[in-house]
A and B are shown apart, each in its own frame.
Chain A
Amino acid sequence: MKKTVITFAVLAFLACGKSETPVTATNATSSSSSALTINGAGATFPNPIYSKWFSDYGKLHPHVGINYQPIGSGGGIRQLTAKTVFFGATDGPMSDEQLKAAPGPIVHLPTVLGGVVPIYNVPGITAPLHFTGETLANIYLGTIKKWNDPGIAKGNPGVKLPDSDIAVVHRSDGSGTTYIFVDFLSKVSPAFKTRVGVATSVSWPVGVGAKGNEGVSGLVKQTPGAIGYVELIYASHNNIPFGAVQNKSGKFVTASLDSVTAAAANAAIPDDFRVSITNADGDAAYPIASFTWILLYENNDDHARAQAMVELMKWALTAGQKQIGELGYAPLPQAVVDKEMAALGRIH
């Protein structure tokens, strides 16, 4: 008798373990919030706007669910190339070698514009500091070590800078924010270009690595004497002071929607949309600005998902562009939108 009871208990246990698989499988279509789930991954920099877009779009089109995971730009490129996600997202355009290594032609689709700002925590300093590109490069190369270094002081006449060490903070993960920042520094400093170079992950000569935009802002906020770089929204969200940066025309410009938009205004957009707009021309242009891209294969096996992505992109380029200011991004210039609408026709 007792034997039967126990055996029954095991059987029941095993059975409830097993029976759940078929149940979940049949539920897949009914209880899943959307019939068509599209997986994407990549940049963290546009994640605030992407998650808002995908959520709003899901409300308008309940049959489409976009599962976007912000794992970093390098990750977006990697996972798209491995085809473990349907679309990727990046803040640094794919290199020619990366495009060659991919199993099929990939289209870069700009979505919004953003800016990267130098944030700092210098006790006693209230006015926004001014940085030249070269100063920033030298700080990140480790050749400027103190806050009262003449290189920093020159741009900030009248500001009493302390004689304290600079604690340099950078990203530890592969990041488009890093790409944009080092892309700018490499343009203005030949030394930086040879020593560090441009990529989503680089080998930093000095500093502390923190994960994500948040990790960097958190560490800078908590560490007196620290400097870091983050996407604009993370600085304003966390109320961390950020500096003005000298642009190509010699003006010190603070990052804002207008100054970021101005950076894209004069850019010549190539047919594949892979363009860097750091250190752009124009008096009002903020120099550490960039497009951010969604990456899609031109030829997809899954036409239904490809079509859904095209529809989504059309929406993002029109209605979607209207609500991005509050999140700290600048809308795309109309010329780019027009060109992109045409390019969407290549995707199927």
Chain B
Amino acid sequence: MPQRIDALELLFVTGKGGTGKTTVAAATARYLAAKGLKVLLCEVDAKGELALAFDVTDPGFEPKEVAPGISLMSMDTESSLREYLRLYLKVPFVGSLGPLAKAFDFVATAAPGVKEILTVGKLCYEVRLHRYDVVVVDAPATGHIIGQLAAPQAINELVKVGLIRSQTEWMLDILSDPLRTGVMVVTTPEEMPVTETIELTASITAATTVALSAVVVNRVLPGRFSVREEEVFERLGAPSSVASLSARLGADLTEVFEGASLAVGLRKSRSQHLSRLREHIDSAVPLVLLPNLFEDHPPSATTQLLATSLELELEQ
């Protein structure tokens, strides 16, 4: 069994674009904070979506408390480099980085993995500092996450000596420890997201040293009709039946059945994709189902609702 989510020290939340990865990351932070844990929530690909979930704007590199028990920070590789240089090289940089910023731009462009290592490095550094009980990362989407998680290994292969080399060793220790670090993959019960999730979970295992903690299925519709119910639905939805039902109700149900058939079809196809996902994911890994929210809530309310669902699913 993978380590429980609430016992991890570093949790990466990833998934295909459009599945609600950021929302789930925010909900997870809320869930953990509600359990009394001190959470550092970190946005890696800053788009401000995570901040919206806490009704704040423009989070910086310095963590700021945005809700009880939750501090939010936005990853900025230049600030991360600055912090690193100050801590390890004792280079006292005051104020503007000047030419160093340009040098950084260059190094980051030229040397693959430098940006990734500064991101992962900062996250591992926070784990080591232990100012928080857990670091939750709104990590890059499917295409980029492997590069990021595998960065310390890649650097180890490329760089034979130097400070970075020695630094990657302790990062790997944290990342490779399944008791401390895990990845949560977010998906929706639709064809492409399910297919990508199956592929992603396989490559997390194959290409990185990080353990898979959970697969979260977002936007799950209420239960599908049984075969018998579906037959009843077909018969009741026939034009003559709709006409007589409408007459008895005193309201035209033609459009209602038309609209509902979309919902019935969606429930059916989504539950099929969900079964396919279940078949392909290691049964030891928890499959967490979050409901589809039909109402258009503000982001902070949405994440609170989903945090409650997460708790129900994980504590059952």
Are the chains A and B members of one assembly? Answer: no
Chain B residues engaging chain A, CB cutoff 8 angstroms: none
Chain A residues engaging chain B, CB cutoff 8 angstroms: none
